A and B are shown apart, each in its own frame.
Chain A
Amino acid sequence: MRCEKISISKKKKEMVYVKDLNVKFGDKHVVHDVNFNVNQGEIIGLFGISGAGKTTIVRVLTCQIEKKNWTGDVKVTGLTPAKKYNHPIILSRIGYVPQLELLNLYFDLSPMVNVEVFTSTYGMNKKDAKEVAEKLFRILDLPEDTWNKPVKHMSGGEKKRLSMAIGLIHNPNVLFLDEPTTLIS
């Protein structure tokens, strides 16, 4: 597995810190001694063959894997996912765009309502959410006529971009993208 960094900022606030990360599910050792850190303004890409453990690392960072399954020193925005009480704060500071839109979007609801559902979990009111969503939709080139129609009528690329918009909607400190180029037009 390889990590590639692109630095686009001079600020050096540590956003993700991973030291000696090992993940085990029973007897299966999935991730071996992974070390990396990401500072504010940096973009890091994880490359590896299928089953290398890329998604597993992201799952540890996004509080999806219980502490009993992993060891090492991990911090996301200065907080460790090892402590359960840190989870709500970490989750409010990160954005996540999964590989499959099916897991991220309510296909029967419109993009605007999808945005409302997710932003409400961060305590954002409807007006703020709508304002931010409109700006993001424009940045991500989502056609305006699709904003209020059910997501199921959107193309694959549009769904992916909507998924990205939802990941960015609360202006997270760290954005995790799983297979971000899939379906992107």
Chain B
Amino acid sequence: MRITKKKPLTLNLNKFKSKVSSLKPDTKKVIKKVSSIKNNIFRIIKQVKKEFRLLWSDKFNIFLAIVMPPLIIVFLGLTMTDAPQEAQSIPCVVVSYDSNTFINPNDFFESQLDNYTIPYVNAVNKSSLLELVRFYNATEEIYAMEQARTALLEGTINVIISLPVDFTELIELGLPGLIDCIPDASKMVHIQANINAVYDSIKIFINDTNLKPQFVIRGFEEFTIPEGYSSNFNTNIIMAFSFMIFGVAFVLSILIVVQEKPIARLLLTPVTRSEILLSKFIAYTLVLLLQDSLLIVSALSMGLYLAGTVTDLFLALFMIGFSGIAMGIFISSQSKTKTQANQLFLAFYLVIILLSGIFIPIENMPPYLQVIAYILPLSHGDPLIRGIITKGQSIWGFHFYWLLGICIFLVLFSFLIFKRRKYEV
């Protein structure tokens, strides 16, 4: 192997100075340019370019921001656009206290069921929404309800249907029959589905027995997803949209100020703090626009039913995403270390998701939590997206203006904090 001997670097001050002095550009020319508006714009554009270069240097970030969200949409689309699956039946037990035992107290061991118990059990069996796991005649099995509760506790059933002692008598007298429905309330989101399934069995029961209830309720569904569209996909995509656009924008921007160490050195050039922060907002807003477009294109191509306009959906997604960027840059501007920024990210994100109203209805929260929930962006983002996609609502409403307000507040405070942030080299 041939080793070339490298000439050692020697410093001849006179020679070095004359060499450096002969270089372009002329300092006077540069100074003239420093404070012109044209140059401010030039600097911002160059800073934006730098942001993109930094973003490009971390390919995982690119994947996270641009590729992953549409991929998730496509994945949801491919797995949920098939023919609508038959709704899964809800396991239940029927506990009947409706027996003539109580009518004839002298014959305690006789437990002939009243006229309407068996027809109701048949109706439960007929309902496609219910799966009868077991029928208990409570007059024979004195621990029927305890056994049913144990099944509910173990999760083998989701609902107990209990027929009261006067079930048949009330119907025969022309009075409304009572049915007790005991759903598993630990699965909050399934409560309504459980009750709906029990209603289904009642409908079948009324039809089969030619009963004439006092009130006839006719249901018409509004804002349903038309035939040809997958309701599974549409339901999930509405929730995924606001989570995804907010989460990705938030995670992408959480470290952009705190991890950029050379900002301290940049501030020893004519570039201002406002220009640096503004360039970050511009760069990440451009990324957000691309994200938005890809999300909408992928969702529509996978069969999203959109009752509103694409423009409204685009703007809504943009506002939610921008609130994520604004919150990320806000936290990044005031964090002293990357660890602190990451911890704050986790704390904020958990609170924002838990109080978004998607998992727990905001109305069911204690008043102080409701106040916090209504301040946070996702509690406005979800109804905004839902309104546009399912009801065709316009974007111009309370939720949009609230999101705009949050964004303006966060952007202004980010600039204020960044202006006061201590940088030293």
Contact = CB atoms under 8 A, between A and B. Distances in A.
A135 B20 CA distance: 9
Interface in A109-159: 109, 113, 116-118, 120-124, 128, 131-132, 135-136, 139-141, 150
A33 interface: no
Contacts of A122: 30, 33-34, 269-270
| Shortest beta-carbon contacts, A-B, top 10 | A120-B46, A108-B57, A123-B33, A121-B269, A121-B271, A98-B425, A88-B270, A123-B39, A104-B265, A92-B34
Contact of B21 (A43, A116, A121, A171): A171
A123 B43 contact: yes
B264 interface: yes
Nearest to B272: A88
Interface of B: 7, 9, 13-14, 16-17, 19-21, 23-27, 30-31, 33-36, 39, 42-43, 46-47, 50, 53-54, 57-58, 261-262, 264-272, 423-425
Contacts of B26: 171
B30 A170 contact: yes
A29 interface: no
Contacts of A64: 267-268, 423-425
Given A103-B425, A171-B30, 8 more contacts: A89-B35, A93-B27, A102-B261, A116-B46, A117-B46, A118-B266, A139-B20, A171-B20
A168 B30 CA distance: 13
A105 interface: yes
Contacts, number: 130
A173 B27 contact: yes
27 contacts: A6-B13, A43-B13, A62-B268, A63-B268, A64-B268, A88-B34, A89-B35, A92-B269, A92-B270, A94-B268, A104-B262, A105-B262, A113-B50, A117-B46, A120-B43, A120-B47, A121-B43, A123-B36, A128-B25, A132-B24, A141-B9, A168-B23, A170-B27, A171-B23, A171-B24, A171-B25, A171-B27
Q: Is the interface of B mostly helix, strand, loop or mixed?
A: helix
B35 A103 contact: no
Contact of A91 (B21, B43, B269): B269
A185 interface: yes
Nearest to B45: A120
B102 to A, nearest CB: 82
B270 A168 contact: no
Contacts of A17: none
Interface string A171-185: 111000010000001
Nearest to A120: B46
Nearest to A184: B9
Interface string A158-172: 000000000010111
A59 B262 CA distance: 16
B42 A103 contact: no
Nearest to B56: A108
B9 to A, nearest CB: 5
A103 B262 CA distance: 4
Contacts of A136: 20, 23
A131 B24 CA distance: 8
Given A103-B262, A185-B9, A88 B30 contact: no
Nearest to B35: A88
Among A63, A100, A120: residue with most chain B CB under 10 A: A120
A37 B334 CA distance: 38
Contacts of A132: 23-25
Nearest to A6: B13
Contacts of A62: 268
B183 to A, nearest CB: 55
Contacts of A59: 424
Given A64-B425, A108-B57, A139 B268 contact: no
A113 B425 CA distance: 21
